[in-house]
Structure formats: C-alpha cells, structure tokens
Amino acid sequence: MIVGIDDTDSRSGMCTTYLCTVLVDELKSYGEVSTPVLVRLNPCIPFKTRGNGAVAFEILINDVRALEREVKEIVKARVSELSELRAEGTNPGVVFIDDNASNASFNEKLKRFYESAVREVLTIEDVYAIISELQLDYFGLKNKRGLIGALAAASFLLLHTEESYDYTYELIVYRRKERWGTVRFIDDASVWAADEATYPLVWDTVDVANKKLVLVPHSPCPVLFGIRGDSVDAIYKAYGLIQAEPDERKLLFITNQGTDCHLMKSEQLQDFHSYILDGVVDSNPMTIEGGHVLFSLTVPGGEVDCIAYEPTKGFRAIIRELRIGDEVTAYGSLKEGTLNLEKIELRKLNLVVERNPRCNMCGRNMESAGRSQGYRCKRCGTFSAVKDKVIVERAIETGLYEVPPVARRHISKPLVRMRMGDKIIHPSR
C-alpha cells in the first residue's frame, strides 16, 4: 500500500517530512517500508507554507487482511496528533493506494495528476474527482487541501521509475525534540569540508560565492539539516563528515528536487506557471529600486518582462550584461506577468551595436536631426541617414547561467547536474 501525506505543518513548527519519518519508523513492525519520496509541487502555489513539499512511502504489509486497517488507523492518528491544526493554512490530507490498484489506465491518470500538481494550479474538486474515479481511500482534516499534494506524492512514488522521471536524493536529519525552536549547532568548517569531499555528487550544501551554508533551514521546524545529491554513498559520506548537535533520527528520501520538472515550453503564458522561453532581448537591462534587474524579452507570443531579484545576488551581474538583440532562453516562473528568472541561456550574443554616426570631418558624434530625419553634425553640417553599426566585444560568454544556491528553489536543477549534456554551462561556483 502507498501512503501519501501533505499539508501538516505551519510556519511556526512541524514538517511533513518529520511526520513521515516518525510513521516510517513506527510502521516497520507491520511490514517492509520503502524509501519514501519527497516531491516539490508547483513552486508558485500561494497556499504553500515554504517549499510546497509532500511525501509518500510504500509499505508491504506482512498480512494485509489482518493489518491493513490497523496501519491506516496509525497513519490517521499520527497525522491528527502531529499536524499543526491550529494554524489557519494547515489542511492535512492522506491518500492510500492499494497494492493491486496499478494498471495502465490507472497509472496514466496519476501521471497526468502528478504533472499537473507540479506545473498547474489545481482545485480541491480536481483531487476529489480523481479520488472518486479511481476509488481511492483517503483521510483529511479541515478543508483537506493536502489531498492534492498527498495524491501527487503517492503518484510520483508509483511512477518515478516507470515514467523515467529524473530524481535525486535528500538525507534529512532531525533534531532532538528538546532543541526544537533553539539555535542549531552545526560546525561550519565541517560542512565546508564535507562539501569539498563530495561536490558535485552532493550539491547545494554551501553557497561558495555568498559564503553561506544552505543545508540548514531557518524555521523552528524539527529539521537539523538536509544533504542533497545524486549519489547515496556521497550523501552518507558528507553526513559522516558533518559535526553538529546530536540528531534524533534521519531518513533518506527520493525526490524530484533539482530536476526542473516544473518548467514547460508554451506560447500561452499564465501567472503561477513556470516556463522555458526562447526569445530576443528587446530592452537593455535596468536596475530598479531594491537592486532587482529587469529587461524585456520578445517571445513568439509577444513580449514578457524578465526579472532577476536582489536575492539572486551575483546572477544579476550576468543579466546586467545583456544587450538588445541577444538571443536567450529564459527559465522561470510567471508572477503578475513578469518572469522571475531561475536560469538563463545566452544562445547568441549580439555583437553589433548601433550608435549615432561619427562626423567624418571633426570626428564627433552627430545628433539626431528629428524623428526619422537622420543625423547631422551641427558644427560641420555633415549628414548621415542611418546609424553606424559597430562591432563590440562582450564581457560575457554564451552558455547557461544560474542563480546561486542561496536563491535556488528546491525543484530547480543546479547546472552542475547538467554537466553530461551538450550545453556550455557556467555553474554558480
């Protein structure tokens, strides 16, 4: 049986992955429990507490007939006990998928549901429709919105190998209860050493350019730190090197983090969706109040503003180097009609810059003689109908650039994971 769970936490405490870890430990006496999954769903969803995560695990119950009901009761009891039910936005949901339920049409429906949960905005009615169509058992509290994430996580667990979804791992380490809400003790130097010994199989542990640890959350939740990567061995090696306060427990998750599976190619752009857009820069970048950098991109459907927010730090220096006419591919989420950049590929740099013509008598720049009237040198009276075209050197190279780890979304793919592809990459370190 697969158990999917979501929306149990609030900003002031708990974490759905911790609840999953407690359940996995408790249910081991009822049967073999799989490596759980942690999925990140649409990162633009307004209801999310933090990273729009949901979890699922599979349990092969020793004696299904005798024990299935008991296992479900334990899941419901722990979700009811450990959820932050007093918080307004906490709406827990649990979905159960039976062992024999899977078949081609069932899986196809779950595939569509999972992909929509990562890329679209769903309603509670959408999840009820599929739960009733597939006759799934479920449990929920308050408005039960967590059923959306719970079913998406259960679907990913069922399908991730069959559908060849890209996946990565995270080892999440939890604090002892008496320390929850207090300052976390982690020896910084040991984290840098662990990174040195395991990067790039382990990534997003530290941010080199910004000199920050990024494996530690800043909320009062039970998580001490999480180690992300492509290799389970490298992750455990890093864990072994990190010195920190004693942990209560830890659990490895298979995840869709670092995979970019939220991004779509489409000409119909909608807010709260994330895209990969090919286009041509049509305004030179401008730094606006707050240090954010903005430019406009011509795309097949029209024009879209793209922004690199201040927290993307050094990434803005790349964006500031763009010039009108550069051919780029922009990666990011659309909010209020503006694409929040996560990555950019500079495909072709415009090396030709147009500027007011030089007077061939005195060598000074001519001035505009009026709209569509050409250019004139006031001093010498010389005239030119068109601007000069000048070949310029550019301070950047073509290739893919990314925001640094401090600004990276859980679901965004670090460029270091693209190292086997055919693209030129410029990882942020």
Binding site for ligand ATP (CB under 6 A): 6-7, 9, 15-16, 41-42, 45, 47-54, 91, 117, 120-122, 145-146, 148-149
Could you tell me if 4 and 134 are in contact, meaning their C-beta atoms sit under 8 angstroms apart?
A: no
Give the shortest CB-329-to-ligand ATP separation in angstroms. Answer: 24
Could you tell me if 1 and 69 are in contact, meaning their C-beta atoms sit under 8 angstroms apart?
A: no
Contacts of 290 (CB under 8 A, 6+ apart): 309, 310
Q: Report, in this order, helix, strand and coil percent for the chain, each rounded to 5.
A: 25, 30, 40
Q: Which C-beta is closer to ligand ATP: that of 145 or that of 316? A: 145
Give the shortest CB-406-to-ligand ATP separation in angstroms. Answer: 17
Q: Which C-beta is closer to ligand ATP: that of 146 or that of 332? A: 146
Q: Which C-beta is closer to ligand ATP: that of 220 or that of 337? A: 220
E strands of 271-349, at which residues? 273-281, 286-287, 293-299, 302-308, 327-335, 338-348
Could you tell me if 347 and 329 are in contact, meaning their C-beta atoms sit under 8 angstroms apart?
A: yes
Token code pair at residue 116:
């929509």
Phi, then psi, of 233 in degrees rounded to 5: -60, -45
What is the SS3 assignment for 240?
A: helix
Q: Which C-beta is closer to ligand ATP: that of 92 or that of 357? A: 92
Q: Which C-beta is closer to ligand ATP: that of 47 or that of 180? A: 47
Smallest CA-to-CA distance from 149 within 273, 266, 9, 332 is with 9
Query: What distance in Å separates the CA atoms of residue 143 and residue 406, rounded to the nearest whole number?
Result: 33
Q: Which C-beta is closer to ligand ATP: that of 7 or that of 345? A: 7
Q: Which C-beta is closer to ligand ATP: that of 154 or that of 403? A: 154
Give the shortest CB-122-to-ligand ATP separation in angstroms. Answer: 4
Give the shortest CB-38-to-ligand ATP separation in angstroms. Answer: 9
What is the SS3 assignment for 221?
A: coil
Torsion of CA 377, 382, 386, 389, to 10 degrees: -80
Residues in the chain: 429
Give the shortest CB-119-to-ligand ATP separation in angstroms. Answer: 8
Give the shortest CB-123-to-ligand ATP separation in angstroms. Answer: 7
E strands of 142-195, at which residues? 168-175
Give the shortest CB-143-to-ligand ATP separation in angstroms. Answer: 9
Give the shortest CB-366-to-ligand ATP separation in angstroms. Answer: 56
Q: Which C-beta is closer to ligand ATP: that of 102 or that of 219? A: 219
What is the SS3 assignment for 60?
A: strand
Beta-bridge mates of residue 4: 56, 95
Q: Which C-beta is closer to ligand ATP: that of 277 or that of 411? A: 411
Give the shortest CB-280-to-ligand ATP separation in angstroms. Answer: 31
